[in-house]
Structures are given as structure tokens and as C-alpha cells.
Amino acid sequence: EVRLVESGGGLVQPGGSLRLSCVASGFTFNDHYMDWVRQAPGKGLEWVGRIRNKADSYTTEYAASVRGRFTISRDDSDNSLYLQMNSLKTEDTAVYYCIRGLNGNDKNWFDPRGQGTLVTVSS
Amino acid sequence: DIQMTQSPSTLSASVGDRVTITCRASQSISSWLAWYQQKPGKAPKLLIYKASSLERGVPSRFSGSGSGTEFTLTISSLQPDDFATYYCQHYDSYPLTFGGGTKMEIK
């Protein structure tokens, strides 16, 4: 069974940092592109960013709203995905979902399996 | 950036109804479109990918169609479990973007 378990969310002050983690199981993690998607309270879904697999050099893409502040990384030896969030703003408050990409290239659709982790940015 | 516009934003329907949600892209995305269902407090669930391919395990009452800039999600006979919010999403180019969502309500 495919599982994605996010952790690391919590309350942080504006300007602070937080690191989210996601542990994957039930599939060959290192084959897949992985994404982060977020959802502000009562709002729609917003793509945050993507990290490609080793075959595609672990390169990354980001939404403009987080570029330069957020960094996505992965550790294939641990089946883990990370989201380092710096210079946090109140508008970053959201549930963050770790998502497996399906199709193995940039034309990936999402296979959401995690429960998400809530990040609250507030003073 | 490619903008995704869903309509309607809210849809009131009854069990057994045939319902259609529309998603329009601001430029052509070929068939690089997915549909998701989300229930309160839960992660989204993949329903349709490549505009019309049904994800394994999703009931056949769900179907998708379209290409280019106009797409539809149809539920042929609405079931109680289908009352949820539906999102379209393109994956043609970066940034990936979602439609604003369609909330399916019980009439």
C-alpha cells in the first residue's frame, strides 16, 4: 500500500523557519518525482514545488510565491522528502501535502496519499 | 502562467442526477489535465488524469473529456458519497495550477 506520512508542522512566527518531512512507503520512491501542495484554511489547492528523481538530477521547480524562500530536497536512501521553509509569512499558513508524481516525467499528475501537516504562521 | 477557471463554483444536485463541471484553461494544455475530489479534512483524491483516463478504483460513473482549453468532469448518477469539492489541475508547464474548485452540495 502506498503511504506518505508528513510531519514537522506547527506554529511559527513570521520570519521564522520550519522544516517539513515526508516518509514514503509502498512504492519505489527513488523512481518518482515528488511534489508539495498546500491548502490555506478554507481555500483551494496551491502547488508549492517539485523535485525530480535522480535520473533527472534532482532538479527542482517552485511556485513564484515561495521561490527563494522554500527549498525541496530528498533522501532516497531513507525514502524521505523535505520542505525547508524560511522567511515564513502569514500567507504561508496552510496544510502541506507531500505528493507522489505519476508518469515519471514533467507531465506528472498527482497521486495524493498523505494526511497533510498544518503550518501556522502567526505572532 | 496558465489560469484554470472552473464553473460553477457551487453545484446543488440530488442523488441520481447527472452533473457536469467545466474547467477552462487560459491557453492550450493539450490533454494534460487531472481531476481530484476532496472531502473536508482529507487529502484530495485523484479521479481522472490525461483529461479522460479513469484512475484505477474510481467508479465508472465518473468520466472526463476535453482537450486544448475546455474540459468537463461528468458524474453520470450522483451518489451520496460524491458530495465533495472537485478541482481540476493542469500539468502542461510550470507553474502547475489548480482551478478554484466546485463544491457539490445536496439539493
How confident is the model over A10-51, as pLDDT tens digits? 999 999 999 999 999 999 999 999 999 999 999 999 999 999
pLDDT over 90 (residue A113): no
B87: nearest CB among A44, A102, A109? A44
**Residue in chain B nearest A97 by alpha carbon:** B43
Of the candidates A46, A110, A113, the beta carbon closest to that of B34 is on A110
Residue A91 is predicted with a pLDDT of: 98
pLDDT tens sequence across B26-78? 999 999 999 999 999 999 999 999 999 999 999 999 999 999 999 999 999 99
Question: Are the beta carbons of A97 and B89 separated by less than 8 Å?
Answer: no
Q: Inter-chain contact A61–B87, Cβ cutoff 8 Å?
A: no
Distance (Å, rounded) from C-alpha B88 to C-alpha A59? 26
Alpha helices in chain B (DSSP H): none
Give yes or no for B95 touching A (CB within 8 A). yes
- In this structure, of A97-106, B40-49, B80-89, the range with the lowest mean pLDDT score is A97-106
In this prediction, residue A103 carries a pLDDT of: 82
Alpha-carbon Rg for chain B, nearest whole angstrom, is: 13
Identity (one letter) of the amino acid at B73?
L
For residue B31, the chain A residue with the least C-alpha distance is A107
Q: Which residues of chain A have a CB within 8 Å of the CB of B92?
A: 107
Contact with chain B for residue A27, Cβ under 8 A: no
Closest CA to B70 of B51, B55, B53: B51
Chain B positions touching A110 (Cβ under 8 A) are 34, 36, 44, 46, 89
CA–CA separation, B66 and B32 (whole Å): 10
Nearest-CA distance from A91 to chain B in Å? 17
Exposed e or buried b for every residue in A27-47, given b needs 16+ CB within 10 A?
Answer: bebeebbbbbbbbeeeeebbb
CA distance B90 to B28: 10
